[in-house]
Structure 1
Amino acid sequence: MSDIMTPIPFGKLMDWIIKEHKTGSVFGVKRPFIADKKNTATIFGRSLETPFGPAAGPHTQLTQNIVASYVAGSRFFELKTVQKLDGEDLPVSKPCIRAEDECYNCEWSTELYVPQAYDEYVKAWFACKVLAKEYGLGSMDGFQFNMSVGYDLEGIQTEKIDRFIEGMKDASGAPIFTECRQWLLDNLDRFENLTRDDVEGISPEVCNCITLSTLHGCPPQEIERIAKYLIEKKQVHTFIKCNPTLLGYDYARRLMDEMGYDYVAFGDFHFKDDLQYEDAVPMLKRLQALADEKGLEFGVKITNTFPVDVKQNELPSEEMYMSGKSLYALSLSVALKLADDFDGKLRISYSGGADYFNIEKIVDAGIWPVTMATTMLKPGGYQRLEQIGRLFAAKKAPVFESVDAAKVRTLVEGAKTDRHHVKAVKPLPSRKINRPVPLADCFIAPCQEGCPIHQDITQYLQLAGEGKYEEALKVILNKNPLPFITGTICAHNCMSKCTRNFYETPVNIRRTKLESAEGGYEAVMEDFKAPAVSSDKKAAVVGGGPAGLAAAFFLARGGMKVTVFEKEAKMGGVVRNVIPAFRIPDSAIDRDVKIIEAMGAELVNGKEIQSIETLKKEYDYVVLALGASQPGELRLEAGEPVNALEFLAEFKATDGKAKLGKNVAVIGGGNTAMDTARAAKRNAGVEKVSLVYRRTRRYMPADEEELAMALEDGVEFAELLSPVRQENGVLYCKKMVLGDLDASGRRGVAETDKIIEVPADTVIAAVGEKVPSGFYEANGIALDSRKRPQVNPDTLETSIRGVYAAGDGLFGPATVVEGIRDGRKAAEAILGKGLAEDLFKLSDEKTIADRKGNLAEEDVTETDSSRCLSCSSYCENCMEVCPNRANIALAVYGMEKHQIIHVDYMCNECGNCRSFCPWDSAPYMDKFTLFANEADMADSANQGFTVLNVHSGACRVRLLGNEFAYQSGTADERVPEKIAKIIETVICDYSYLIL
C-alpha cells in the first residue's frame, strides 16, 4: 500500500462532520469539550480558552486531526513543521512511530508538500471556527494556530516557505481560503447556529506566531540569524525549540539511568555538536531584548525530541527520537536551568511527556502553553484531551508573570520517583495474541485471551461493578473452581494484558475476583446443588493441589463420581503447605475446598498413592496432579544449600521459627525466590536477607509485583552475582557483567574474576523444582528427554490408557490458574464433552465510551470494575490511536459489535495501530480496507474494496488474493455475509468516506 495521504476536500470534510455529529461524535471524538468563553488566557495578543493542544507532529498534519483535537479540548495547535524538503523528496522510514511505553519516532516534518500542508491548516482554521459556533464548543476566536518551521535560514527564506509564512499571516488571497468561505456560504442551510455574519467574519489572519525548529548540530549563530529574521522581517511572535542536549551528556545519562532507562542508548555526539548552554543564554537574552523592542513576544519551546540509537530494531532507522514519559524529567531540567538563569522572566512553552497527571502542575509553574503527542498516541487517543480540558475549566485561566523555578525544581525531583515517569522494574510483557486479526468481529478482551482458563473477566467485572456479587461469582465458577485462591495469589497474567496498562495501571481483576467471591459465597453455597451422577464410570485424582481440585470439580460437574487422594493432612497442595500464610490464609483455601466438596467430589486426606495399577482396579480413570515435588539442585564448591520448598514448609510448620542464623542468602529470581526471601526476612532471628541473582532485577523471571513486595519487606537484591561457595558464614560469588542487548531485548551475561562476599549463615536455593519422574518411571509412564511424562497435548493422557497428568507435575512449576486449566482439560477429555461455556454480554456503549480516554488510578475503597474498558465489546484501539482517523468503527445493521475498516487514503503507515492492536497484526495492513480508487487498490496488497459508483453500488473487491467486480446488495458466494454487510453499510450509511 502507499504511505501517501490524500487530503480531503473541505466540503467533503464538513459533510463528514455534519453527518457523523448526528450519531454523537466528530472524527471519533464522542465527548466534546465545552469551553468557558469568559475564562480565557491571552498569548500573542489573542485569546486562548485552554492552555494546551497537540504538538507539531502526527496530530497536526491533516485537517481531521486538528479538528478532532479541537473538539476534544485543544485550543493551542502547534502545526506540523514545514521545511524546504517535502512530499516525496522527504525520506521517512516506515513504520515511524513506536509508542507502547515511552515513545520513539523517526519522522520530523510534514509528509505533505508545503502547499498541501498550507491548505490543510486553512481548512482546519475554518472548520474549528465553524464547530465552535455551530456546536457551542467555545468562542470562534478562542483558539490559536502556531506555525512550526525549520530547519535553516536558507530553507526558511525559500519562496515556498516564505509564501507559507505570509499566507498563514494573511490567507485572504489564498484560493483555499476562498473555497472554504464560499462552501460555508453556499451551505448555510445545513447549519442551525452558524450565520452568514459568522462566516464572513472569519479572519484570514490564521497565525501570528512561529516556533522555530532547528536540526541537531545547528550552530548558535545560525539559530540567532533565523530568530532575528522571524522577528525583524516576518514580524511574528517567536519561540525557539531547545533540546535536552543543553543539559550535557553526564547529567542526561545519569538521570536516565537513575529513572530506569539505562537501556536507552545514546552517545555524547549531539551533546557536543548541538547548541551549548553557555552560548544559549546570551543568545536568548539578545533575542528577548530584540523582541521587546519590536513589541513581540519571545520565548523558548522545551523541548525538541531527544535523539537515541536504534538498538533492538525498534524502528527502521539508525537513530530515532525519544519522547513521552522518559523525556519529562529531561525537559523539565532544561526548563529549570533557564528559569534559574532568567529569573523566571523567559517565557517557556512546553512539550515532553505532558499528560493528565502532570499538566496542571506544569502550567501552575508558569510554563504554558503545553503541547502533547505521546499521550494521544495511546488508547483513548484524542479523547484524553477532554479530561485535561476539564482540569482547566475548573480553575482560573493562567496569566504569565514568570516561571516559578522552585515549583519546576519540585517537579524535576518528583519525576525521578514518579511511577508515571520512571521505567518499571520489569519490561512490559507483550499484549499480543498469537493469531492474526480477522477481517470482521475482531473485538476481544486481551485479559481473557491472556488467562489460561479464558475466564469471562469482563462479564464478572461488569456484574461486580453493579454490586451483583452472587451473579459475578457464578460467572467465575463457570471456569474457575478456586476463586479464593486465585483471587488472592493468582499470577494474574490477565492484568499484564489489560489495555488499561496503556493508560496508567491495569484493572485490579484479581481483587475484584476476591471481592466477588467474598460477597457472593454464602448465597452461592446456600443454593448450591451437586449434579446427579450420570456416568457409570469412576475417576481418582492423585494430589489435592489446584490441578487436582480443579479436575475433581469438573469431573463431578460432568456427572462422574470422583475421589481425590492427598498425602498431606489437608487439601491445597503447595498453596496450603508451602506458600506462606502472609500471602494467603488457610481460611481462603478452606472455602475453595468446600466448593469442591459441594460439587460432589469425595476428598481423602492423609493417603499417599504409590501404585497406579492398584488404583485402576477400582477406578476407570486416574488424573495425576502430583505437583513438582522433586527439589531443584544447586551445587556449590563448598556448603550445602537448603531447598526453598523445604524451608517454606518448615517456616509454615514452625510459625516462622526455622533455624537460619542472622544472615540469609536466597539464590534465584523467580516468584518462589521472592516468597522464600520474604519468609526468611520474617523468620525469627534473621537480620539480613540477600537475594542473589546473576543478572539484574530487570531480567529476573519473577513478576514485578513479587519484586516490589520483596523490596518493600526489606530484602536486599545482590544483583550480577553467581554463587561459588559458602564458608564460615559467607557466600562467595563471582561478579558478573551484562553484555549488549540482543534483538529480543535480553542482555547477555559474563563472568569476571572479581569475587564478592555476601554474608550468609544459611543459603537457600530457589532454582526451580522438577517433576517427580521417579514416580512416573516406577509406574511405567513414558517420559520425554527432560524426564517429564509424555502426554497427548489435547487431552493430557499419558502413555497408559485412562491415566492423565496435570499441573506442576506435568511440565514443572507453573501458576495456580495453569493447574486449573490442566485439570479441566483432563476432565473434559475423560468425559468427552465441554464443561464450561463462554459467557458474553455486550456492555452498554455509552458507559464504556465515557471511560475511554479518562486516566484514573485504582480506588481501593471501591470495586475496580469502573475502570474496565470492556474490550470484548468495544476494543477500537486501532481507531483511537490513529492520528489520521484512518481506522473507522462502523455500526453495521444486524451485527452485535462494531466493525473496523481501514481507510487507505488517510493512512501514512506510521504503524502506531500495530502497537496497540491485541492481535498479532497491523490493522493498517490486515483489516478490510476502503480504497479511494482502483489505482490505490492496485498499489496495495490489503484485502478490501473500492466503490466505483456510490449510486449503483458497483465495487471492486479483493479477498483471499482474488480480485473481482462486485455489486453491493447482491448475493455473491465469493463475499462472506459479514463482509457484504460492511460494504453495504459504507455505501449506505458512511458515504462520506467515499472520495
Structure 2
Amino acid sequence: MGKVTGFKEFEREDEHYAPVEERVKNYKEFTIPMKPEEVSKQGSRCMDCGIPFCHSGCPLGNLIPDFNHMVHQGEWQKASWILHSTNNFPEFTGRLCPAPCEKSCVLGIIEDPVSIENIEKNIVERAFKEGWIKPQPPKERTDKTVAVVGSGPAGLAAAQQLNRAGHTVTVFERDDEIGGLLRYGIPNFKMEKEIIDRRLAILQAEGIKFETNVNVGVNYDVEKLQAFDAIVLCGGATERRSLPTPGIDADGVVQAMDFLTQQTKVLFGKKVENQIKATDKNVIVIGGGDTGSDCIGTSNRHGAKSVVNFEIMPKPPGHRSPTTPWPYWPLQLKTSSSHEEGVERNWLINTKEFITDDKGKLTALKTVNVEWKTVPGGRPQLVEVPGTEKIWPCDLALLALGFTGPESTLADKLGIETDTRSNYKAEYGKYQTNIPNIFTAGDMRRGQSLIVWAISEGREAARQVDIFLMGKSDLPSKDMTGDLVAL
C-alpha cells in the first residue's frame, strides 16, 4: 500500500489554518486546502504494514489502506468509490471526526500517523468537484415503506441504505431544517451548512422524502407511524446535562446547545428572539469537550471580553499516556483551533455557586479546586482542596456538559423498553426494539457518541430492517467480507 518507502521519505502534513485575526471575523471554514500532489504524498505514507489496525479502529470499517493507495497512485475516482463503499458521508467525518483510525495507525507507533482524515476529506471534495457523486436511485422499488425519525447522521445513513434497497423512505425531522446536530449543533466555521445541503440534494434526487417541523409524539400522532412497515428511531441523545449547583437558574447561565443553535440560525437569517450573545462579556465555558471548544470559538467571534474554560478532570498529558497504549484511543491533551483563538483553560476545578445581583442576573462564579482520590475497590472520588475557593467575574456561563441520554417521549408513547441509562434498548448487531417492526440506532441506542458511530449504526440498522422486511439483504455490513456495493 502506498509507496514502500513513503513513510521514510515524507513527513506528515496537515491542512493549515487561516490566521486567527482573520478567521474570527467570520463564520466560514478556515482550513487552507492542500494541493492534490501534496495529498498524494500523504497517501504514500501508508506503509504496507501487513496487518492494518486503522480500519479496525474505525467504527465504519473504512478500507483505509485501499483508498490511501489509490490517492498515492492518483486514482482519485477509485479512491472515492472505495471510500463511499463503507461511508455514506465522508464530507462529514472528514471534517468532524476525531479520527480513531489515526490513533490506531501502525505508523503511529514510531512516528506521526498517516493523515487519514484529511485524505478522506480531500477525496470526497474532489469527487464532488469532478461530478463523480451523482444520485443513484434504486432500479426497482419494493412495496415496503419505512419511517426514519431523526435526520442526524444515523437517520440519514439509515435512510439512504434503505432507499438503496428499494424501500420507500420518509425521514421526519422536528426542526425546520434537515441535519440534526450537524445543522445546528456544529458551528458553521467547523462545517459550512452548504456541505449538508449538497448531500441532501443527492438524497432527495434518489427518492427519499423529507418532512421538517414534524415532532413525532408531539405534533404528529405516533399512531400514524402504524402506516409504515418499519420504523427506525434515530432521534439522538438530546437530554442535556445540568449541574446541582446553587444559582443554576440565574439569568446568564445557558445550555451550550441553545447558544450554538441560535448563532447558526441567525447566521442564516432565521428569526431568533433575544439571541444569547457573548459580545463584551466575561464568558466561562464549563466543560472541556468538543462542544465546549465550539462555544469558545463562537464566543470569540461574538467579541467576548474574556473567555475562560473549566474542566473538572485532570489535565491530560501532552503525549499518549502509558495507560492508553497503541492502538487504544489515547489519553492525551487536545488543543483545538478554537482553543488557539484565545481562552484560559483550567483543569481540576468545580463550580460551587452561580452568583447573581438583586435582579437575578449572573455576575460571577464561585469555584474550588478539586482532586480525584482513588478508593480501593471503588470508583474515584472527587475531593475539594481546602482554601482554594475563588470568585470569577462572569456575565455568561455556558454549560457544555454533554447529554444524559435520549428524550423519553417516543419510548413512552410507543412502549419501547429502555436500559438503565435511559437509552432505547436494542441489541447491538440487531438494532430491533421490543416491538418487532421498530428499530433504533445512533445516540438514541448507544448514548452520546461520535458522528462516525452514528453513520455506522445507521448503516447496520438499515441492513437489519431490510432483513426484517424481505427475509434477506444485499446491503453491505462492516462485518461482511467480499464484494461491496458500488455507489
Q: State TM-score, norm by structure 2.
A: 0.75
Unpaired segments ≥5 residues, structure 2: 11-48, 269-274, 319-328, 357-362, 468-472
Cα displacement string for residues 206-239 of structure 1 (whole angstroms, at most 9, x for unaligned residues)? xxxxxxxxxxxxxxxxxxxxxxxxxxxxxxxxxx
- 1:94 alignment counterpart: none
Of 297, 300, 308, 1:681 maps to 300
C-alpha separation in 1, matches of 2:164 and 2:446: 26
Amino acid at match of 1:716: E
| 1:644/1:699 CA distance change after superposition, 3 Å | farther
SS in 2 for 1:677: helix
Of 216, 221, 246, 1:609 maps to 216
C-alpha separation in 2, matches of 1:605 and 1:699: 44
Cα displacement string for residues 163-196 of structure 1 (whole angstroms, at most 9, x for unaligned residues)? xxxxxxxxxxxxxxxxxxxxxxxxxxxxxxxxxx
- 2:287 alignment counterpart: 668
C-alpha separation in 2, matches of 1:785 and 1:527: 43
SS in 1 for 2:237: coil
Query: RMSD in angstroms over aligned alpha carbons?
Result: 3.2
Q: Report the CA distance between 1:522 and its aligned residue.
A: 4.9
C-alpha separation in 1, matches of 2:474 and 2:98: 25
Amino acid at match of 2:95: T
C-alpha separation in 1, matches of 2:344 and 2:413: 43
C-alpha contact 1:491 1:703 (8 A) present in aligned 2: no
2:260 maps to 1:625: no
Q: Report the CA distance between 1:772 and its aligned residue.
A: 0.8
| 1:482/1:595 CA distance change after superposition, 3 Å | farther
Cα displacement string for residues 251-292 of structure 1 (whole angstroms, at most 9, x for unaligned residues)? xxxxxxxxxxxxxxxxxxxxxxxxxxxxxxxxxxxxxxxxxx
- 2:383 alignment counterpart: 750
| 1:529/1:740 CA distance change after superposition, 3 Å | closer
SS in 1 for 2:240: coil
Q: Report the CA distance between 1:607 and its aligned residue.
A: 2.4
2:460 maps to 1:825: yes
Amino acid at match of 1:568: D
- 2:194 alignment counterpart: 587
Of 396, 399, 402, 1:762 maps to 396
2:169 maps to 1:567: no
C-alpha contact 1:736 1:751 (8 A) present in aligned 2: yes
SS in 2 for 1:722: strand
C-alpha contact 2:368 2:390 (8 A) present in aligned 1: yes
Q: Report the CA distance between 1:708 and its aligned residue.
A: 3.5
Q: Report the CA distance between 1:725 and its aligned residue.
A: 0.6
C-alpha contact 1:671 1:702 (8 A) present in aligned 2: no
2:73 maps to 1:466: yes
C-alpha separation in 2, matches of 1:471 and 1:581: 30
C-alpha separation in 2, matches of 1:741 and 1:491: 32
C-alpha separation in 1, matches of 2:80 and 2:375: 45
- 1:895 alignment counterpart: none
Q: Report the CA distance between 1:675 and its aligned residue.
A: 1.5
Q: Report the CA distance between 1:566 and its aligned residue.
A: 1.5
Of 646, 650, 654, 2:262 maps to 650
SS in 2 for 1:646: helix
C-alpha separation in 2, matches of 1:760 and 1:507: 42
C-alpha separation in 2, matches of 1:484 and 1:589: 9
Q: Report the CA distance between 1:506 and its aligned residue.
A: 1.9
| Equivalent runs, 1:181-260 vs 2, <5 Å | none
Amino acid at match of 1:723: T
| 1:522/1:604 CA distance change after superposition, 3 Å | farther
C-alpha separation in 1, matches of 2:80 and 2:224: 35
C-alpha separation in 2, matches of 1:554 and 1:674: 33
2:429 maps to 1:810: no
Q: Report the CA distance between 1:834 and its aligned residue.
A: 4.8
- 2:436 alignment counterpart: 801
SS in 2 for 1:698: coil
C-alpha contact 1:671 1:703 (8 A) present in aligned 2: no
C-alpha separation in 2, matches of 1:526 and 1:712: 35
Q: Report the CA distance between 1:840 and its aligned residue.
A: 8.6
2:340 maps to 1:707: no
| 1:738/1:803 CA distance change after superposition, 3 Å | closer
- 2:420 alignment counterpart: 785
C-alpha separation in 2, matches of 1:702 and 1:622: 37
| 1:773/1:671 CA distance change after superposition, 3 Å | same
C-alpha contact 1:658 1:683 (8 A) present in aligned 2: no
C-alpha separation in 1, matches of 2:343 and 2:364: 17
SS in 2 for 1:444: coil
| 1:748/1:496 CA distance change after superposition, 3 Å | farther
C-alpha separation in 2, matches of 1:711 and 1:631: 23
2:376 maps to 1:737: no
Q: Report the CA distance between 1:703 and its aligned residue.
A: 8.5
Amino acid at match of 2:312: R
C-alpha contact 2:296 2:339 (8 A) present in aligned 1: no
C-alpha separation in 2, matches of 1:741 and 1:517: 49
C-alpha separation in 2, matches of 1:775 and 1:528: 32
C-alpha contact 1:731 1:760 (8 A) present in aligned 2: yes
Of 107, 112, 115, 1:508 maps to 115
Q: State TM-score, norm by structure 1.
A: 0.38
Amino acid at match of 1:759: P
Cα displacement string for residues 778-812 of structure 1 (whole angstroms, at most 9, x for unaligned residues)? 32211222222111322111122211111122232
| Equivalent runs, 1:312-323 vs 2, <5 Å | none
C-alpha contact 2:293 2:336 (8 A) present in aligned 1: no
SS in 2 for 1:617: helix
C-alpha contact 1:470 1:521 (8 A) present in aligned 2: no
Q: Report the CA distance between 1:645 and its aligned residue.
A: 0.8
SS in 2 for 1:777: helix
C-alpha separation in 2, matches of 1:522 and 1:712: 31
Cα displacement string for residues 56-108 of structure 1 (whole angstroms, at most 9, x for unaligned residues)? xxxxxxxxxxxxxxxxxxxxxxxxxxxxxxxxxxxxxxxxxxxxxxxxxxxxx
- 2:27 alignment counterpart: none
**Identity fraction in percent:** 27
Greater helix content: 1
C-alpha contact 1:639 1:727 (8 A) present in aligned 2: no
SS in 1 for 2:336: helix
| 1:664/1:594 CA distance change after superposition, 3 Å | same
| 1:813/1:783 CA distance change after superposition, 3 Å | same
C-alpha contact 2:293 2:339 (8 A) present in aligned 1: no
Amino acid at match of 1:735: N
C-alpha separation in 1, matches of 2:56 and 2:140: 33
| Equivalent runs, 1:392-471 vs 2, <5 Å | 443-471=50-78
- 1:862 alignment counterpart: none
C-alpha contact 2:316 2:331 (8 A) present in aligned 1: no
C-alpha separation in 2, matches of 1:738 and 1:681: 32
Amino acid at match of 1:785: T
C-alpha separation in 2, matches of 1:699 and 1:797: 41
2:347 maps to 1:719: yes
C-alpha separation in 1, matches of 2:294 and 2:133: 36
Q: Report the CA distance between 1:604 and its aligned residue.
A: 2.4
C-alpha separation in 2, matches of 1:514 and 1:476: 10
| 1:665/1:825 CA distance change after superposition, 3 Å | same
C-alpha contact 1:664 1:690 (8 A) present in aligned 2: yes
Q: Report the CA distance between 1:749 and its aligned residue.
A: 4.7
SS in 1 for 2:203: helix
Q: Which has the larger radius of gyration?
A: 1
C-alpha contact 1:483 1:592 (8 A) present in aligned 2: no
Q: Report the CA distance between 1:747 and its aligned residue.
A: 8.1
Q: Report the CA distance between 1:702 and its aligned residue.
A: 11
- 1:835 alignment counterpart: 475
